Amino acid sequence: MTLSQGCILCHQGAKLVLFVTGRCHRTCWYCPLSSERKGTDTVFANEYPVDIPAQIIEVAESMSALGTGITGGEPLLVLDKVTAYCRQLKTHFGPEHQIHLYTAKAPTDAELAEMQGLVDEIRLHPPQECWEKIHESDFIRSAKRAKEMGFDIGIEIPALPGLEHLVPALPYVDFLNINELEWGESNAYQMRERGYELADELHNAIEGAKGWAEELCRHDKVHWCSSAFKDSVQLRERLKRIAQNTARAFDEITDDGTIVYGVIKPSESNKGQCLRLCKDTCEPDSYEDCGDRIEMAWWLLTELSDQMDGEKFVIERYPNKGMIVEMTPL
Ligand code: SF4
C-alpha cells in the first residue's frame, strides 16, 4: 500500500487543517460542508476562525505541526490566498513543512506553476460523473503535468458506487485515497433519498461503502481511510500534540488528548477566602485565578471541596480552550 507523505503526517496527528474558503463551483450531493462554512469566505485553522494570517502560524505552533492540509470548498477559487498562506508557513517552519491541497478542479498549467515550490502534494477530486471516462478527462492531463512539474499527485474521493472505473487512472498518480462515505448534517436528506443507512450507531460511516471500494482497494496505490480511523487515531493524535503544548501544570491530559481540570465559582464575598486556602495548601502552579472562578487540578478540588463554598465542577474539554466534552458538577 502506498501512503502519501501527507497521510503519514496525518496519521501522527501532525497536520494543520487549513480551510481556505467555503465557496465551491460544484454541488456534490454528498458534500460534507456545514451550513456555517458553506458559501462563506471565512478561513479556519483547525476549528478556529482566522482574522489575520498570523493566527494560522499560532494554531500550527500550538500543535507543533509538521505539515498543512489545505481544504475547502474549492481552494483554487482563492489561489492568491493559498499561495500567500503556503509562503508564510514554509517561511516560518522551513521548506520541509509538507503541504497538501485538495481540489475538485483539474488545475491548469498556470495554476500549477503558481503552486510550484509551495504545495508539495495535490489531491484531485474528480466528480463521480466523470469516473467512467477518467482517462479522457482533464484530471489525467493535470495529473501528468503536475508529475512533470515535481508535485506528488494523487486522487482523493469518497467511497461511492462506481469506484472501479478509476483503475485506469492509477498509472498516472502516486496514490489514490478513498474516504469512507460519511453521513452529516448537510447531506442527511440526500442520504435518505438514496436509501443509505448508517453502518452503526457509533460512527457516521454508511452501510456498504466498504463494498464499493473492494475492487479498487486490491491495488497497491490505493489507501482506504475509514471514518473510525479519522475519529479515533487522527483526531486523538492531533489533540494530544495540542495538549502537550498548551496544557497548564494542573490540567490532566487523557489518553484521548482531552484535558481535565476542576473549577470553582465562589461568590464575590468568599472568593478571597478560597484563594487564601489555595495559597496555603497548594503548589502555586496547581491553581489559577481566572477572575470570576478559580481553576485547579481536579483532584485538588475534590479534596478541598468541603472547605470552599460555591458552584464546583470538573471539566473535560479539547485542549487550548477547545470544545467542552463533559462538565460534571461536584
Ligand atoms: S467539491 Fe467538495 S466542497 Fe465542493 S461541493 Fe463537492 S464535496 Fe463540497
Provide CB contacts within 8 A for 106, sequence distance 6+: 124, 126, 137, 138, 139, 141, 142
Q: Which of 28, 36, 38 to mutate to test the pocket of ligand 1 (most atoms within 8 A of CB)?
A: 28
Mean pLDDT, to the nearest integer, of 92-111?
98
Q: Which of 15-19, 31-35, 119-123, 153-157 has the lowest mean pLDDT?
A: 31-35
Asked whether residue 239 carries a pLDDT value surpassing 90, the answer given is: yes
Instruction: Fill in the DSSP letter of residue 257.
Output: S
Q: Please, what is the average pLDDT of the chain?
A: 93
Name the residue with the closest Cα to ligand 1, atom 1. Answer: 104
| Binding site membership of 279 for ligand 1 (Cβ less than 6 Å) | no
Helical packing angle, 54-62 and 79-93, nearest 10°: 50
Asked whether residue 42 carries a pLDDT value surpassing 90, the answer given is: yes
Tell me the pLDDT band of 1, cut-offs 50, 70 and 90.
Answer: low
Q: Which fold has domain 5-243?
A: TIM Barrel (3.20.20)
d(CA 40, ligand 1 centre) in Å: 13
Contact 68, 60 (CB under 8 A): yes
Mean pLDDT, to the nearest integer, of 231-258?
93
pLDDT for position 200: 81
Give Cα separations from 264 to 13, 117, 164, 286, 300 (angstroms).
33, 51, 58, 14, 11
d(CA 179, ligand 1 centre) in Å: 14
| Binding site membership of 104 for ligand 1 (Cβ less than 6 Å) | yes
Which residue intervals of the chain bear CATH 3.30.70? 249-329
Atom of ligand 1 minimally distant from the CA of 104: 1
Mean pLDDT, to the nearest integer, of 67-75?
97
| Binding site membership of 33 for ligand 1 (Cβ less than 6 Å) | yes
Contact 200, 210 (CB under 8 A): no
Segment 311-325, tens digit of pLDDT: 999 999 999 989 999
Atom of ligand 1 minimally distant from the CA of 26: 5
d(CA 310, ligand 1 centre) in Å: 49
pLDDT for position 202: 74
pTM: 0.88
| Binding site membership of 24 for ligand 1 (Cβ less than 6 Å) | yes
d(CA 304, ligand 1 centre) in Å: 52
Q: What are phi and psi of 174, to 5 degrees?
A: -85, -30
Provide CB contacts within 8 A for 129, sequence distance 6+: none
pLDDT for position 155: 98
Give Cα separations from 81 to 16, 88, 116, 206 (angstroms).
16, 11, 15, 35
Tell me the pLDDT band of 2, cut-offs 50, 70 and 90.
Answer: confident
Q: Which fold has domain 249-329?
A: Alpha-Beta Plaits (3.30.70)
239 vs 214: CA distance, rounded Å: 32
Q: Which of 62-71, 84-93, 188-197, 223-232 has the lowest mean pLDDT?
A: 223-232
Q: Name the strand (E) or helix (H) holding 222.
A: strand 222-225
Mean pLDDT, to the nearest integer, of 91-100?
98
Q: Name the strand (E) or helix (H) holding 101.
A: strand 98-103
Higher-scoring residue by pLDDT: 232, 111: 111
d(CA 258, ligand 1 centre) in Å: 30
Asked whether residue 54 carries a pLDDT value surpassing 90, the answer given is: yes
Name the residue with the closest Cα to ligand 1, atom 8. Answer: 31
Asked whether residue 90 carries a pLDDT value surpassing 70, the answer given is: yes
173 vs 67: CA distance, rounded Å: 21
Asked whether residue 309 carries a pLDDT value surpassing 80, the answer given is: yes
Q: What is the DSSP string of 239-254?
A: HHHHHHHH--TTPEEP
Which residue intervals of the chain bear CATH 3.20.20.70? 5-243
